[in-house]
Chain A
Amino acid sequence: MPIEAAVASSEILLLARREEEIALIREATNCHRINVVAECPDVVSFLRQQGRYANASRPDLILLDMDLSKTEECEVLTEIKKSPEFKRIPVVVIASSERYEDVFQAYDLHANAYICKPTDRTELVRVLRTTLQFWLTLVRLPRE
């Protein structure tokens, strides 16, 4: 399945703060249907369909563009992975840090995969495309 079709038929939740990164991910997937939230607490509100996310659909895949040295960001990962309702949803952490401690911590908190953000834009688009291609076309995802 081509990546655009896979993305179009999947629900993806992306946590990203910077407009630039959101635009990049949209470019990588050629898709504007991705659900984007900008703050950590919104990830959980989205999953729980609270407040303005009352009509949110359950994501098939969660991408967290984050910095795990921040407590708040670790908390959101912990909260998803401890929740009986949501822990089965694969979470891919996308981060700038290549530090062993950060990579280790992400996996220790049960992130499904950790991607180091390449600084080169073209390379970043490639990595994002590969990630979406892998998770949405090859992996057997849990259905609800």
Chain B
Amino acid sequence: MPHPAIDILLVEDNPGDIFLIREALAMGSVPKRVHVVEDGEEALRYLSNQGKFRDASMPDLILLDLNLPKIDGRQVLEIVKDTRNLRHIPIVVLSTSTSERDVVSAYEHHANCYLSKPATLEKFFDLVRQLEEYWLECVALPAV
């Protein structure tokens, strides 16, 4: 059965990481559209269809960095998971932070999973490949 395209919202401010994540996601076989926003404020605007995001489709999966300009990723997570019509969207945290406090707090605020960005490009690429394979090919997403 052909998959309908999956909408992924990538919330990431590092251009190098955006490039790498896009490339790694593109290698997977599941059709997808990757929408990128570069700070927490834009992420919240996107999710509430404000301004230029008026016609944006709701993502089926969110990849969220924690250290972001304007509104921090931690706050974005808290807001999304406290909002009735958004909280079902799975959020995968992808962060360089290895602090146990960030990890515990992310899960306590109902992040669906936490992945630490590895230090080398090769490992990072491989991690995103595995993320894609698991979340898009193995898991059932709440996508209509």
Contact = CB atoms under 8 A, between A and B. Distances in A.
Nearest to A104: B142
Interface of A: 81, 84, 87-90, 98, 100, 103-104, 107-108, 110, 112-116, 127, 130-131, 134-135, 138-143
Interface in B103-140: 103-104, 107-108, 110, 112-116, 127, 130-131, 133-135, 138-140
Contacts of B35: none
B139 A115 contact: yes
A-side interface mostly: mixed
A83 to B, nearest CB: 11
Contacts of B55: none
A127 B133 CA distance: 11
25 contacts: A88-B108, A89-B107, A100-B142, A103-B140, A103-B142, A104-B88, A104-B142, A107-B87, A108-B87, A110-B87, A113-B112, A114-B139, A115-B139, A127-B138, A130-B138, A131-B138, A134-B134, A138-B115, A138-B130, A139-B113, A139-B114, A140-B114, A140-B115, A141-B103, A141-B114
A7 B90 CA distance: 25
B110 A81 contact: yes
B139 A90 contact: no
B66 to A, nearest CB: 12
A102 B113 CA distance: 20
B89 interface: yes
Nearest to B138: A130
A113 B127 contact: no
A142 B107 contact: yes
A136 to B, nearest CB: 12
Closest 10 CB pairs of A and B: A88-B107, A107-B88, A134-B134, A108-B88, A104-B142, A142-B104, A140-B114, A110-B110, A116-B140, A114-B140
